[in-house]
């Protein structure tokens, strides 16, 4: 499962990098599909920054850490980080749906990726051998 989580996290890095490119660009974006799907509106909104850092850059860093922990088979940190990422993605989905009323294709792809990573990380926790889950008494 570590290869799947790492692969999905690398995909998340790529998608977040594309969103970061949109954040800093001023031209017409390839994901400007219609009035309901426009990455430019989302990535240039006031919600696209956290403490002066673009949300997409936070995504790149988050996915990179998840990829490293996932590859190293650090199941708890991978699960906790993916759940934090999922919570943040749900918050951003709420902003897109109810505040901006515009969706970003890159953001939706990223949200799907973090859902898959969290599900796989959760499943991996329960597929471990019992002896690996519960330390034996001395």
The domains located in the chain, with CATH, are: 2-133 (1.20.1440.130)
Concatenate the DSSP letters of all residues of 49-94 into one string: EETTEEHHHHHHHHHHHHHHHHHTT-HHHHHHHHHHHHHHHHHHHH
Chain-centre distance of CA 12, in angstroms? 6
Residue 138, classed as helix, strand or coil, is: coil
% residues pLDDT > 90 (the chain): 70
Global confidence as pTM? 0.86
CA 63, CA 8: separation in Å to the nearest integer? Answer: 9
Tens of pLDDT, residues 27-36: 766 776 677 8
Q: Which of 28, 6, 16 is nearest to 120 (CA)?
A: 6
Q: Which two tokens stand for residue 74?
A: 């650090």
Q: How many CA atoms lie within 13 A of 25 on its CB side?
A: 17
Q: Which of 50, 30, 32 is nearest to 41 (CA)?
A: 32
In this prediction, residue 126 carries a pLDDT of 83
The model's pLDDT over 14-50, given as tens digits with 9 standing for 90+, comes to: 999 999 999 888 776 677 667 788 888 888 899 999 9
């Amino acid at each position: 499962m570590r290869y799947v989580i790492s692969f999905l996290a690398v995909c998340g890095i790529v998608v977040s990098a594309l969103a970061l490119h949109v954040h800093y660009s001023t031209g017409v974006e390839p994901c400007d599909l219609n009035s309901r799907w426009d990455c430019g509106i989302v990535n240039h909104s006031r919600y696209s920054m956290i403490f002066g850092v673009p949300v997409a850059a936070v995504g790149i860093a988050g996915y990179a850490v998840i990829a490293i922990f996932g590859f190293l088979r650090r199941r708890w940190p991978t699960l906790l980080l993916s759940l934090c990422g999922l919570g943040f993605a749900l918050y951003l989905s709420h902003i897109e749906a109810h505040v901006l009323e515009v969706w970003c294709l890159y953001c939706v792809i990223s949200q799907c990726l973090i859902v898959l990573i969290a599900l796989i990380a959760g499943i991996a926790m329960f597929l471990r051998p019992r002896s690996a889950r519960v330390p034996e008494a001395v």
